[in-house]
Amino acid sequence: MPKFSRAKVPPDPEVLVAAAKAVIDREKAIPRSKVGPPSVRDRVLDALRLEGFEVTAKVVRVPIEEQLGAVLRDGGYLAFNTIASHVRGATAAEAKQVATTLADSGRARKILRTATETLVPVTEDVVADKGLAIASKRASDLARQLHNAARKGVGVLRSDIAQALDGVLPAPSRSAAPHRPDSSLELDVLLRAVDATRDAKVGLSFVPKVVGLLSADFGHATAQKALLDAASRGLLELRPEGGLGRLSEAERMACPEGPQGTRLSWARRIEEQG
């Protein structure tokens, strides 16, 4: 019986793109080899890249930042040592790197839970910097008191210990307040945010980080206005961005506009000069 070769119908890239998107929506990632046959694979990958998916050497995926962001928006905590389990189509190293970027840019907070570094939403009430130092000192004072009592063979009133423990934590910061933009931003809150994000070596704070810290409570526009007000009062120096395309679109939008079409991406407390 003669064999007839089947006429091959060329695959339709649009159909393949739609199919791949459906899989990615469901699974968050799809192997490159599954998006279509080699003859049209590059076209399909290009289309998916244009759709905003990340195309790597092995997979096409929802951007890691987006995957992590979704977990954080739902109030999830992400332990760094298991963070890879929260993203699909990425290595642990990639996931950790993106998580670090989220923390560095002020879009999430990096904290320590027991011995595990953890990423939490920026709206969480976190004790950090000076608050942490105060808590540490109070706790060690209490520990020293208990140790002295034990050494001398005497007891301590339970109520005294309870009272001391109550006082270990400083008063909750404003960020613990309900997630509601506030149109008035007090100067000391702004300056605290500038201080919290300052590079210790040169005293510069990256404006997107400052705005990131404040925007959860006050919104972008209010944070930017507060920065400009502080600059006009001579309390802050706002510096134009000089990098070569270093700002992401989100970072650029977080920076107030400066003279001659620049963006003001760095801030410095004026009193620290000289």
Partner 1 sequence: MSTAPFEAIHADPWADQIVDLPSLNADVSSSIEDATARQRDVARRQPKELRSSSLVVVGPPGAGKTHLFARLRQRLGPRAVFVHIRPLLNSEMTARFVLQEIARQLSYATMGLRQTDALVGSLLAHLDGAPAQFPRAFLDDLARLDGPERTRHLEDALESVLATWQDADESYLRRLLSVPFDAPATRRATMAWLSGRECDEAQLQRVGAQSSLQEEAVVPALRTLAAVASLGSPIVIVFDQLENLIDGQESRSRLLAYGNLAAELVDSARGVVLVHMAIDSEWYRAIEPALSGAQQSRIAMRTKALSLPTAHEREELLRLWSARDPNPKAPFPWPFGERRVARWCSAPGMTPRMLLVECRSALESGYSDDDPIEAEREVVSDGVPVHPAGAGVLNDSLADEWARQVESARRALDELAGQGQCADPARLADGFMSAAGFVSNLTLEVNLRATAQLGWGTSAGKLRMALLHQNHPRSLGGTLAKLANLAEKEPVVALRERVHDLPPTWKDTLAKRAALLAQRRAKWVFLEREDTARLLALASMLTAGRSGDITDALGRPVPLEGVRRWVADTLEVATWPVLTALTEAPAELPDQPDAARAGPFSPGIALGVLRRLRVASVDRLIREVARVDRAATRASTLAELELASDRVLWIGAAVVCMRAEP
User: What residues make contact with partner 1 under the rule CB under 8 A?
Assistant: 199, 201-204, 206, 228, 231-232, 234, 237-244, 246-247, 256, 258-262, 264-266, 268, 270, 273-274
Location of structure tokens 């793109």 = 17
Alpha-carbon distance of 5 to 19, in angstroms, equals: 28
Minimal distance, residue 271 CB to partner 1, in Å: 12
Minimal distance, residue 101 CB to partner 1, in Å: 11
CB count in 10 Å sphere of residue 185: 21
Q: How far is CA 28 from CA 19, 21, 60, 121, in A?
A: 13, 9, 9, 21
The residue among 123 and 265 lying less far from partner 1, judged by its C-beta, is 265
Minimal distance, residue 96 CB to partner 1, in Å: 16
Which of 71, 70, 88, 73 shows the shortest CA–CA distance to 29? 88
The residue among 11 and 203 lying less far from partner 1, judged by its C-beta, is 203
Minimal distance, residue 269 CB to partner 1, in Å: 11
The SS3 of residue 126 is coil
The residue among 58 and 73 lying less far from partner 1, judged by its C-beta, is 58
Strand order in the sheet with 108-113: 78-79, 116-121, 108-113
The residue among 80 and 206 lying less far from partner 1, judged by its C-beta, is 206
Residue 193 φ then ψ, to 5° = -65, -40
The residue among 129 and 257 lying less far from partner 1, judged by its C-beta, is 257
Which of 241, 242, 235, 239 shows the shortest CA–CA distance to 273? 235
Minimal distance, residue 105 CB to partner 1, in Å: 11
The residue among 20 and 54 lying less far from partner 1, judged by its C-beta, is 54
Minimal distance, residue 216 CB to partner 1, in Å: 24
The residue among 27 and 199 lying less far from partner 1, judged by its C-beta, is 199
Minimal distance, residue 259 CB to partner 1, in Å: 5
Amino acid at residue number 122: V
Contact in structure between 254 and 265 (CB atoms under 8 Å): no
Q: Specify the DSSP class assigned to residue 116.
A: E
Which of 94, 70, 87, 91 shows the shortest CA–CA distance to 28? 87
